[in-house]
Amino acid sequence: MSQGPNSVSKGTGIPESTQEDDQQLSIEGEELAALPELPPGIFIPVPAKTPRKKTIWPDAIDVIFEKDPACKSVFEALLYQSFWAVLFHRLAHSLYQAHIPFVPRLISQFARFLTGGIEIHPGAQIGKRFFIDHGAGVVIGETAVIGNNVMLYHQVTLGATGWWRPNPFRKQQKRHPTIEDDVTIGVGAALLGPITIGKGSKIGGMTLVLESVPANSVVVSKPAELLVKGGETLETHQELTQGWNGKDPWEMDYQI
């Protein structure tokens, strides 16, 4: 005989549905406990079990609704700098691939002016559902490669390191980062050089990354520390205040 949805376990006398819920909560608790300990103020959102229902709009607009809960209508989505930056880049990149001179660069510079400082080189390769929140000050270099479902915050730099000279044996040298799928990069982060950020990783705000990051990793910079409290320098930071007269904390000769 089949059992109903509220059937009772013979061994415990507790409804089986309740036991399943408890087991699910236990599993989710273990997943939360497995997350790495982070400095205060750093928060990693836990992905929802149920996928978000996609809107009727194309990916370029739908991703705005997904990434930014502040967007309430398609008309608001059309005001986002990210939408226009990506739209113009798609056009510029197609012309760049067709080896059309000057015009791709002209389009990218026009987009930079229109979007308040989002600078994407026409040569950069960008996947689907790419989103830049706020946008101001973002720089993406020529040989950067960005996967699908990647999110950047403002003032992010995907740049190179130092001066690069052309290699006569290579058509084009890789100078900029490769960002794999499902990566989030926080405000002010600088990722420099031909490094790779693995799938599903998160880069914290104001972080300088010079080496490749494995998949499903979290990278954060050291948060700000209290140097002077009540006009007195904390003992743990005496080495940072060499040359200070010991009176005015605003006249310190910082040796950082």
On whether the CB atoms of residues 65 and 74 are closer than 8 A, the answer is no
Q: Does domain 59-163+171-219 have CATH number 3.10.580.10?
A: no
Pseudo-torsion of CA 59, 61, 65, 66, nearest 10°? 20
> Could you list the mean pLDDT of each consecutive 10-residue stretch along the chain, which spans 256 residues?
51 53 53 55 47 74 91 92 96 97 97 95 97 94 97 96 66 90 96 97 95 95 82 66 52 44
The confidence score (pLDDT) of residue 91 equals 97
Q: Give the 3-state secondary structure of residue 83.
A: helix
The confidence score (pLDDT) of residue 19 equals 54
The confidence score (pLDDT) of residue 117 equals 93
Amino acid at 246: G
Chain centroid, CA 114 distance in Å: 23
The confidence score (pLDDT) of residue 148 equals 97
Statement: the pTM of the whole predicted model exceeds 0.95: no
The confidence score (pLDDT) of residue 176 equals 96
Burial class (CB in 10 A: 0-12, 13-18, 19+), 238: exposed
Domain boundaries, the chain: 59-163+171-219, 224-256
